[in-house]
Amino acid sequence: MRGIFITIEGPEGAGKTTIIQKVAQELEVKGMDVILTREPGGIPISEQIRGIILDSGNLAMDARTEALLYAAARRQHLVEKVIPGLQSGAVVLCDRFIDSSLAYQGYARGLGMDEILSINQFAIQELMPDQTIYFDIDPEIGLKRIETNKGREINRLDLEQLNFHQMVRQGYKQLLQRFPDRIREIDASQPIEQVFLQTMKMVEKLIEENE
């Protein structure tokens, strides 16, 4: 018995958190067992690692250290939350996963996607998402959205130059080419309701196929 593992990806401010919450609510109303979680984080140890990566103020962090910390947070989160959730038959919805490491550390930081895939293979032991939904947005629009979202704290990665965020988007575009069966794209510049309906349609199709 195995549940379904769905990840949501995209640049800053694409609307991942907003939409994934609405999807989880809708699935729960329909009586499904849903686990809504995020990376880095989702469980205490990984939330602590999140703090080290994202809230380290003015301290400079080496790019490889950053990549390893994301992979470590991922490992603990998988073992404590994602794998048990899937074993119980739940739909696990995760806000970011390995593709964030490939796009941010592998491509935008320039460490190389294959190198990042390799360190992450040690962490995930082949547990890849059943489906990944990529929210595509021009980073200028995404960053404006998070600036106007007063409830959200600005973290170390948000403060990177616009060029870095544009590289992240290019990295995701490469991943779409590399994993066409797993990753589906949604235009996240559309109004929230449209993005939600399209995401719901993809998620429901996957659940039906899994029945």
Ligand X SMILES: Cc1cn([C@H]2C[C@H](O)[C@@H](COP(=O)(O)O)O2)c(=O)[nH]c1=O
Please give the annotated binding residues, written as ranges.
10-17
Yes or no: say if 8 and 133 are a contact pair by the CB < 8 Å rule. yes
Residue type, 25: Q
Q: Judged by CB under 6 A, does residue 39 bind ligand ATP?
A: no
Residue 41 binds ligand ATP (CB under 6 A): no
Question: Which among 35, 144, 129, 209 has a CA at the least distance from the CA of 201?
Answer: 209
The correct pick among 70, 134, 172, 196 for binding ligand X (CB under 6 A) is 70
155 sits in the region (left: phi over 0; alpha: psi -120 to 50; else beta) called beta
Q: Residue 157 touches which of ligand X, ligand ATP, none (CB < 5 to 8 A by kind)?
A: ligand X
State the minimum distance, in angstroms, from the CB of residue 160 to ligand X: 8
Answer positive or negative: Cα dihedral of 108, 174, 170, 101: negative
- Give the range of 18-26, 34-42, 77-85, 134-142 binding ligand X by CB under 6 A: 34-42
Give ∠ CA 157-183-117 in degrees, rounded to 5.
Answer: 60
Q: How far is the CB of 14 from ligand ATP (least distance, A)?
A: 4
No. of H helices and E strands in the chain? 9, 5
Residues annotated within the binding site for ATP are: 10-17
b/e code 101-132 from CB counts within 10 Å (16+ = b): bbbbbbbbbebebeebeebbeebbeeebbbbb
Q: Which of 15, 85, 106, 139 binds ligand ATP (CB under 6 A)?
A: 15
- Closer by beta carbon to ligand X, 76 or else 101: 101
Q: Which two tokens stand for residue 119?
A: 């360190």
Q: Which range touches ligand ATP (CB under 6 A), out of 50-58, 66-74, 78-86, 189-197?
A: 189-197
Q: Which stretch binds ligand X (CB under 6 A): 28-36, 100-108, 125-133, 177-185?
A: 100-108
Kindly list the residues in this chain that would bind ligand ATP in the complex (CB under 6 A).
10, 12-18, 145-146, 149, 188, 191-192, 195
Kindly list the residues in this chain that would bind ligand X in the complex (CB under 6 A).
12, 38-40, 54, 70, 96, 100-101, 104-105, 155, 157
